[in-house]
Amino acid sequence: MENIDFSLVDWSRAQFALTAMYHWIFVPLTLGLSFIIAIMESIYVKTGNPEWKRITKFWMTLFGINFAIGVATGIILEFEFGTNWSNYSWFVGDIFGAPLAIEGIMAFFMESTFIAIMFFGWNKVSKKTHALSTWLVAIGSNLSALWILAANGWMQHPAGMEFNPDTARNEMVDFWSILFSPVAINKFLHTVTSGYVLASIFVIGISSWYILKKKDVIFGKRSIVVASVFGILASIYLIGTGDGSAKAVAKYQPMKLAAMEGLYEGTTNAPLVGFGVLKNAGDTNNPEKLDFLFSIPIPGALSYLAFGDFDAFVPGINDLVEGNPEQGIISYKEKIEKGKIAIDALRDYKNEKKAGNTEVAETHLKTFKENFAYFGYGYYFGRSTNELIPPIELSFYAFHIMVALGTYFLFFFIVMLYFTLKNKIQDKKFILRIAIWTVPLAYIAQEAGWVVAEVGRQPWVIQDLMPTIAAVSHIDASNVMITFFLFLAVFTALLIAEIKILLNQIKKGPETLTEKTTKE
């Protein structure tokens, strides 16, 4: 590993992060708005009120604009696995590809089939058939997320697989263990639910603008009621899935949890930092110097959040790096040594088997299997153990921004629903302005959550088995650098285009009810 091109690793990571974060601007709105549209159309079918058809068609138009650009960025994201991360693509074997293939064949096929009926089937199929198509688009969108997030969950907690030493590939042995692993399930539920929250805020923010401008007030109020109820239910569920995610992180990715909370020294009755400012957090070469300038701790809350027990021991960064024998935690140095043994044993096994020395090869294979759990750590042999610490400041602040905004959103939905049902929302100009500015906050919360999930697990591409330094393709760093700026330009242009198209459509507003529409 002496010949690592760190500029290649850094630019490959930067390019993938750029693509993922741009892609994630579009995906959550698609996930949530599809269900809000389906609910609105169901109200139209139930009541026969053409006003609800008008409302549905307006939000459907905004959905279509967002959906198209989201697909474009998602395709590029999948291509990058082959171009920039070919070693990873080889190492994961048939595991990572299977969920993505299912997503493309089944879920995306469902979306693309029924989205045509959803957009062009008005007055060509019955109301119930059209509504069913809208619901199937919503379900298909979320099924797409299921398979993608199951693949990502496997990277966070590899399960249901077996490593083939002859091919140096991980092979699937239990598909259902991959799909229904606790990490995958919590990741899927928490992620899609956060999308429902964002979409609800998106609808409320735009509806508030209409009410504030005294333009189509009835449309705005009805949209706010549906989005607020949907948002409240989603927010409550989001809290529950967040709790499940925290417990999964504590069990399978303790370093991520320690970074999220800025916990340097493990302790029982560990406090949860309600608010805090870190000091020297960027200096991971000297973890003992890391501290808080100030913090507001909630005693015992982290222990309970992680393990359901206020007296549970939560390991800190230093415990994980240096080891804590009393708590059964081995040091990173020991893991690196075991990982190096695994790497060497795999190499010796293949050499001896090629030479025909079967018995000797089997001995090396046994050694490899005994140490395989630490395989990825072996790539850091001769390097500082602090390279295995994720960026603490970014993880800590992203996590607390996400939690703070998520809490605010629940109260925001309650306030909007209350004043709308009381028919007072049109008089609350300050609240309507807050609603408009809450829309960008929802996107900030989404990106912060993604940063926590991905930055917090660094340097791992596959937890404990493959670090980023071993996953990159053998290409020139300058090629990745050039494409990074090309993608930056293209994605920024797409984002600007979407915003302009959305704003033009919003200014245009919902279609006016015609006599023909009224009779339908």
Tens of pLDDT along 411-430? 999 999 999 999 999 989 99
Q: Is the pLDDT of residue 519 over 50?
A: no
Closest by CA to 405, choosing from 209, 207, 242, 264, is 242
* CA-CA-CA-CA torsion sign (479, 483, 484, 486): positive
167-188: average pLDDT: 86
Number of H helices, E strands in the chain: 19, 8
Q: What is the distance between the alpha carbons of residues 242 and 409, in angstroms, rounded to a whole number?
A: 15
411-414-416 Cα angle (round to 5) = 110
How do the domains of the chain map onto residue ranges? 8-180+474-504
Instruction: Give the contacts of 184 (CB within 8 A, at least 6 positions apart).
Output: 149, 150, 152, 153, 154, 157, 178
Residue 281 has a pLDDT of 61
Question: What are the DSSP calls for 313-376, one per residue?
Answer: EE--HHHHHH-BGGGTB--HHHHHHHHHHHHHHHHHHHHHHHHT-HHHHHHHHHHHHHHGGGGG
Q: Is the pLDDT of residue 40 over 60?
A: yes
Q: What is the distance between the alpha carbons of residues 24 and 3, in angstroms, rounded to a whole number?
A: 34
Residue 467 has a pLDDT of 93
- Least confident stretch, 72-81, 145-154, 427-436: 72-81
Q: What is the distance between the alpha carbons of residues 382 and 448, in angstroms, rounded to a whole number?
A: 33
Alpha helices, DSSP H, located in 182-300: 182-212, 217-252, 254-261
Q: What is the rounded average pLDDT for all residues in the chain?
A: 88
**Is the distance from CB of 453 to CB of 463 less than 8 angstroms?**
no
| 520 band by pLDDT with thresholds 50, 70 and 90 | very low
Q: What is the distance between the alpha carbons of residues 417 and 222, in angstroms, rounded to a whole number?
A: 10
Residue 288 has a pLDDT of 60
Q: What is the distance between the alpha carbons of residues 399 and 199, in angstroms, rounded to a whole number?
A: 21
**Single-letter amino acid code for the residue at 451:** V
DSSP lists the bridge partners of residue 329 as: 324
H-helix or E-strand containing 461? strand 460-462
- Least confident stretch, 92-96, 233-237, 377-381: 92-96
Instruction: Give the contacts of 83 (CB within 8 A, at least 6 positions apart).
Output: 473, 475
Q: What is the distance between the alpha carbons of residues 362 and 364, in angstroms, rounded to a whole number?
A: 5
Closest by CA to 438, choosing from 418, 415, 412, is 412
| 516 band by pLDDT with thresholds 50, 70 and 90 | very low
Residue 364 has a pLDDT of 93
HSE toward the beta carbon, residue 197, CA cutoff 13 A: 34
Region for 174 from its dihedrals, namely left if φ exceeds 0, alpha if ψ lies in -120 to 50, beta otherwise: beta
The distance from CA 145 to its chain's CA centroid, rounded to whole angstroms, is 10
Residue 287 has a pLDDT of 58
pTM: 0.90
Between 402 and 141, the more confident residue is 402
Q: Please give the span between the terminal C-alpha atoms of the chain, in angstroms, as a whole number.
A: 70
pLDDT digits (tens, 9 = 90+) for 299-337: 888 999 888 889 899 999 999 999 999 989 999 999 999
The distance from CA 94 to its chain's CA centroid, rounded to whole angstroms, is 22
Q: CA torsion 483→488→490→495, rounded to 10°?
A: 160
37-45: average pLDDT: 95
255-279: average pLDDT: 88
Closest by CA to 158, choosing from 142, 146, 171, 145, is 171
Residue 284 has a pLDDT of 57
| 36 band by pLDDT with thresholds 50, 70 and 90 | very high
